[in-house]
Structure 1
Amino acid sequence: MLDEQIEKIVLFLLKQQGQLATRLSGLADHCDDPLLHGPHYDIMELRDAYREVGRDLLRLLFFVEMNAIGLRKILKKFDKRFGYRFTNYYVKTRANHPYSQLRQVFKHVGISAVVGSISRNLADLQDDRRRYVSIYDQPTLCISDPMIESIKAAENRLMNSTDFLQYLGKHAFIMQDELPSPSSEEHAVNERYHFMSLLLNLANTFLYMVNTYIIVPTADNYSLSLGAAATVCGVVIGSMAVAQIFSSVYFSAWSNKSYIKPLIFSSILLLIGNTLYALAYDLDSIYVLLVGRLFCGLGSARAVNRRYISDCVPAKLRMKASAGFVSASALGMACGPALACLFQRKFKIFRLTFNEDTLPGWFMAFAWFIYLLWLSLFFREPAFEKDEIIVQREASDTIVETGFSEPLLLGSGKNQEDEEDEQHECDDDPSEESAEESREPVTSIMSAYRLLTPSVKVQLIIYFMLKYAMEILLAESSVITSYYFIWSTSNVALFLACLGLTVLPVSIFVGSYISNVFEERQVLLASEIMVCLGIVLSFHVIVPYSAPQYILSALLTFVSAEVLEGVNLSLLSRVMSSRLSRGTYNGGLLSTEAGTLARVVADGTITLAGYWGMSRLLNITLLPSLAICISTIIATFSIYNTLY
């Protein structure tokens, strides 16, 4: 039955494409008419005719998109009802077949040809005269018509094609709606948008990442100067992540009512935390040091940063804002260690000591003070409605509005008893979403957990794994390199800064090339294997342990984990319930909690491994990473065909 319905969709799609092609052919014949160079209104009418074809093409894309979403949900229901991985069997036997019609629903080239024809002819007509220079030779001649932009956006969503900006934005895991927002909802978002506020939001992201990594090169020396072991640096670094587990929840809830208040509160906590971190040296107290880092973790407002972009930035700018969020994070990650490299000074002012251990704390305290003043003066609080109405966009309404009335598995004779049985099934299964609730945010962490399918759980575990591997690599770098290679603080800082600078170039390569040549699930699996290979190469099995081995294995692990993060979050946003795109317990919060928990466990592992001695530290900390990585590869194979 499903095969027959998919065949109907594909044949209907081909028929509509043929009709659009016929209309374009007729318009092309009209373009060759000598009357084209006559009165101005002929050209205007011709432009309108091309735009009307574009509008019909957009309706067709919405129709296909609705059915693609419906197909995923139908397969999900079959898995749930049968207790059998029907999706795995169905996709494997249908998607890779040479006559696959399933693939036609998700990937096709006919629509791209129609888009190209409309774009070229509108470009020819833009100056009221025919051009004799092809847009293929000079792409800058293509006009930026709103209709063309809408068609391209819908086509990209359907075909999962991407570019650097989109790929980078996916790292932010700011979940997008499956379909475009209604005009009324988009208008409300436009009213809340303020560029300076967005800039301040991104500045908060940047400073927080600087704050996180600026202490990594010196944490082991600071611990030693306070009478603790060098491996206590794991606890020092990880205490910030421990506090972030809790701060993410209350900041996410707070952002339901305000944005400026949690950002101000966050800045004050970070100002206090960094001051305590710097004062710990003169107070000679490891506990003051840890309390300072806990305050910094409690000031983590990344949940607010994500929510502001999701709720207050218009859809047309949201991908750019998401890319800005990721770029700010990557730049902060690189700048943190680089700044630590500059603080190789030692002096006193009154009784306060300023050296390579305390200067990062004093610098960040001053930076947060300046940011707090900037925030108070220029951030504009967006308007919050008392009872914000989320517009319902049911499938039937969208299809009627777009002019096509042949949705997937169209019921010709569904009676009231069938509808009651279906409703009863949905009531029994909390993971299924009724039409009325599909846009309602969840209200508790347990409700969010019940919406997690096996595919989503595996992908959250993958996210945990990659963050664990990256944290082990970064947090113990100063200890490992000083023990094996006798690197100075400057060398460690330079190494970490170079790792951070690889994020953007790798994203450009993957987003512009790899993600358009291979399926995301293929890139996901390959990246996991490369992370595993990087971990294996990091083990100390060859005597002596060389710096080139460490650098190459660390680079392979870090770059592979960055690629893995992008494709994993991209796939996660598609298979995760739409109810997790909004509210306090959203998908961004769940991924943040998984990543933060990974950092906590990794930093704790470093400190615990220190009890077995420095000579065994590297191998002991890498063993859990290897075990988790192998487990996720096995789990990925088990759900591979559901990532479609």
Structure 2
Amino acid sequence: MVAFGKKLKETQIQEWQGYYINYKSLKKKVNRYTRQIQDGAADQHYVLKDFSRMLDTEIEKIVLFMLEQQGLLASRLSTLWEQQEVLVQESDGCKLYDLRENYKAVGQDLLRLLCFVEMNATGLRKILKKFDKRFGYKFTDYYVKTRANHPYSQLRQVFKQVGIGAVVGALSRNLAELQDHRGQYISIYDQPSFSHPDPVIDSIKAAVNRLSNSTNFLEFLAKHAFIVEEELPSPSQEQLLEQRYHFMSLLLNLVNTFLYMVNTYIVVPTADNYSLSLGAAATVCGVIIGSMAVAQVFSSVYFSAWSNRSYLRPLIFSSVVLLVGNTLYALAYDLNSIAVLLVGRLFCGLGSARAVNRRYISDCVPLKLRLRASAGFVSASALGMACGPALACLLQTKFQIYKLTFNEDTLPGWVMAFSWLVYLLWLWVSFREPPQRTNELVTQEANGLAVDNAVEIDFTQPLLSKSESKQLDNNLDTELEDDEEDSEGSHKPVTSIVSAYRLLTPSVKVQLFVYFMLKYAMEILLAESSLITGHYFVWSTNSVAIFLACLGLTVLPVNIVVGSYISNIFEERQVLLASEIMVCIGIVLSFHVMIPYSVPQYVGSALITFISAEVLEGVNLSLLSRVMSSRLSRGTYNGGLLSTEAGTLARVIADGTITLSGYLGVSKVLNVTLLPSLFICITSIIATCFTYNSLY
């Protein structure tokens, strides 16, 4: 990746050069503060105040210039509108064409201004993250709380565009009116389809969305994939991605995602009955479901490492292991062995290639298609989650072939084994291994640049210790050179989980904990559904399967509503906190405190918990990608792996909780399993409140 300081120098508009954020000067200031604190020449209070003043000056410079440019654009639009009033009456085609071109020219200049603001916004986020990384979580919380929440905040002017929105609206309306609509007056307010009559307006809208975190359904859905793209690829990188892209291979990658999710949830409606048929307790269903997650904790790591070298081989290995695992799962009935059943589920977990699925989209799909591919990844997961229980509902039959029994317990294993066999053959014939990356790109990714390592080595403590001074001074001498560039986005990837953990700031840790919480709550709800509904409501396997399928089918509609409306009205951190509170309410409503425990109470609370957790996942991963170190955007131990491990660990603990609570009796399983969910949820809400201002 290109260092931000270098990218800023290369992409800035020359005539506006003096109005960009002085990123190099700010970074040098952070380095000087480090020395001053070490030498006792400054305290933390002085550092906060002095750096705040410097940032205020930089932001004021940016905002005043931005307002000046908006005024010039508004003046040009006013002049063009006066010309338009005259030309429309004259119906002079040539002059109207020239007028449209003049409007487009204003649009191009507005796009330049948006790029200017976006580059400065990125610089502000990076310097805030750098300061927190150096001194511990203190400055961003203080600065955002005192600046962004102030009624006269200039910081909000950089990230929340109102004046630019008015300019975009005027451009859209006037260009739409100039289109040939057979003499009919068309307003963008009456006919939204004419809101963007020209590609330049679409480009402006996309730039505004990036800057203000506005989103649509597709973008919000894609956030669930957590495929981090720290910076735009260079033309050479994009050309390489075009060479690596193969539609059929991408489709096979998504099919793998779909089948794995079907494989995960197809056993949920029947796991308790299968346990009973093998002589175990019904609550062993927690171990049956969770054993797959236990193995996934380890498979995520080696699949992530394997994807550095190949995509086809790990996908083949995944298919073979899943084929074997599902066969063992099905054979356990005739062998009357709970051990064989658990080994089969462990094998299924060892075949989890979701790390490869994510990595393929990140590495082999061009940027223009990556949003759709990411949304396809999430949609395939959601569809698989819904289809798994629905498929189990259809497998309500019993027959024998030779000595093999086919019934509602074993058919999920046999069907999935056959599915993975078909997929394996299709994969072998149709998947195309992408060409290896060029040596230059591999070197950049593997090694990075080492100029600014001092910024992101283990400085997560509030103050620096004296024992680190000597080594840090050597690094700072290099950093303070005039030609030094920021290489935060160019560091080599971390090489271990421990190294990755050391890069986590408190805000990142909190977001990972929130992800853990929502996966824990969802797993408790889904994994014990057949046990709870069977005990309280005597639901059949079909009823449980339909209930779980309906929960899975809510994913896409919920994301449409949140992505198209809610996320454009509220800040992501607001949606995050509100979703956590709703998950907490859903958990509280699930407790059995009334006699009798009713179906409306259970279904209603389950819907609140599940839907809130789905909303929470999108904003949580979006914020996580923003506050996470750029070193965790690639390599084996990346942010995607950390979030996967957090979620998988949550599922393991949740399934273990279900099984352990079975020793107290089935009648107590519900409340006993909900208590840790409630405690974890309340803890995550408190932690979010403490780090709320760092999520800006």
TM, length-normalised to structure 1: 0.89
Q: Secondary structure at the match of 1:133?
A: coil
Change (3 A) 1:21 1:480: same
1:176 aligned to which of 229, 236, 260: 229
Cross-structure match for 2:64: 11
The 8 Å contact of residues 441 and 580 in structure 1, kept in 2 or not, is answered as no
AA aligned to 2:292 is: M
What is the root-mean-square deviation of aligned Cα atoms in Å?
2.7
- How far 1:33 sits from its partner (Å)? 6.2
1:163 aligned to which of 216, 222, 225: 216
1:438 aligned to which of 478, 482, 489: 489
* CA deviation vs aligned residue, 1:424-451 (integer Å, no higher than 9, x gap): 29989xxxx9723413451312332222
Q: Secondary structure at the match of 1:491?
A: helix
Cross-structure match for 2:456: none
Cross-structure match for 1:556: 608
Cross-structure match for 2:515: 463
The 8 Å contact of residues 124 and 131 in structure 1, kept in 2 or not, is answered as no
Q: Does 1:595 align with 2:620?
A: no
Change (3 A) 1:116 1:485: same
Correspondence 1:318-397 to 2 at 5 A: 318-389=370-441
AA aligned to 1:171 is: H
Cross-structure match for 1:109: 162
Cross-structure match for 1:270: 322
* CA deviation vs aligned residue, 1:97-117 (integer Å, no higher than 9, x gap): 221111111102121222233
Q: Distance in 1 between matches of 2:633 and 2:426?
A: 30
Q: Distance in 1 between matches of 2:491 and 2:153?
A: 36
- How far 1:278 sits from its partner (Å)? 0.6
The 8 Å contact of residues 133 and 505 in structure 2, kept in 1 or not, is answered as no
Worse-superposed segment, 20-29 or 465-474: 20-29
Q: Distance in 2 between matches of 1:380 and 1:87?
A: 46
Q: Distance in 1 between matches of 2:148 and 2:474?
A: 28
AA aligned to 1:100 is: S
AA aligned to 1:543 is: I
Q: Secondary structure at the match of 1:239?
A: helix
Q: Does 1:308 align with 2:387?
A: no
Correspondence 1:111-150 to 2 at 5 A: 111-123=164-176, 132-142=185-195, 145-150=198-203
* CA deviation vs aligned residue, 1:194-231 (integer Å, no higher than 9, x gap): 22222221111111111000000101111111111111
- How far 1:30 sits from its partner (Å)? 4.9
The 8 Å contact of residues 185 and 391 in structure 1, kept in 2 or not, is answered as no
Q: Does 1:201 align with 2:253?
A: yes
Q: Distance in 1 between matches of 2:219 and 2:540?
A: 39
The 8 Å contact of residues 114 and 207 in structure 2, kept in 1 or not, is answered as yes
1:586 aligned to which of 638, 646, 651: 638
Q: Distance in 1 between matches of 2:430 and 2:376?
A: 19
Q: Distance in 2 between matches of 1:601 and 1:427?
A: 45
Cross-structure match for 1:401: none
Provide the aligned length of Structure 1 versus Structure 2: 612
Cross-structure match for 1:616: 668
Cross-structure match for 1:240: 292
* CA deviation vs aligned residue, 1:561-599 (integer Å, no higher than 9, x gap): 111111111111111122222222221111111100100
Q: Distance in 2 between matches of 1:449 and 1:180?
A: 26
Q: Distance in 1 between matches of 2:444 and 2:64?
A: 30
Change (3 A) 1:500 1:425: farther
Cross-structure match for 2:583: 531
Change (3 A) 1:8 1:208: same
Change (3 A) 1:569 1:9: same
Q: Does 1:223 align with 2:291?
A: no
TM, length-normalised to structure 2: 0.83
- How far 1:136 sits from its partner (Å)? 3.1
Q: Secondary structure at the match of 2:204?
A: helix
Give structure 1 stretches of 5+ with no counterpart: 394-419
AA aligned to 1:442 is: P
AA aligned to 2:228 is: M
Change (3 A) 1:425 1:239: farther
Q: Distance in 1 between matches of 2:444 and 2:593?
A: 59
The 8 Å contact of residues 165 and 511 in structure 1, kept in 2 or not, is answered as yes
Q: Distance in 2 between matches of 1:424 and 1:524?
A: 38
Q: Secondary structure at the match of 2:518?
A: helix
Change (3 A) 1:593 1:12: same
Q: Distance in 1 between matches of 2:85 and 2:243?
A: 45
Give structure 2 stretches of 5+ with no counterpart: 1-52, 446-471
Q: Secondary structure at the match of 1:438?
A: helix
Correspondence 1:464-503 to 2 at 5 A: 464-503=516-555
Cross-structure match for 2:658: 606
Cross-structure match for 1:405: none
Q: Secondary structure at the match of 2:405?
A: strand
* CA deviation vs aligned residue, 1:239-279 (integer Å, no higher than 9, x gap): 11111111111111121222222112111111111111111
